[in-house]
Amino acid sequence: ARNVLQPLIAERDDPALRFRLAECYFRQNETALAAEALESALRKGLTNKDLHPLDQKLLQELQAGPSAP
């Protein structure tokens, strides 16, 4: 998925795409890359309100970091 997302982000710098990239990294246990992608999404303006309730939960997990259950 990240091979698809990275060119899309280069073409259309969307915070939601950066959030999805953070999710990809998170699911692959690449926590440093996940944190970097998440921080980038937040800097670009991503907010909790932009996300579906299920994604809001994921955002909380990502923000909690690797020690999250």
- Over the chain, what HEC string results? CHHHHHHHHHHCCCHHHHHHHHHHHHHCCCHHHHHHHHHHHHHCCCCHHHCCHHHHHHHHHHHHCCCCC
| pLDDT of amino acid 65 | 80
| pLDDT of amino acid 69 | 45
Per-residue pLDDT of 2-49, as tens digits, reads 899 999 999 998 999 999 999 999 999 999 999 999 999 999 999 999
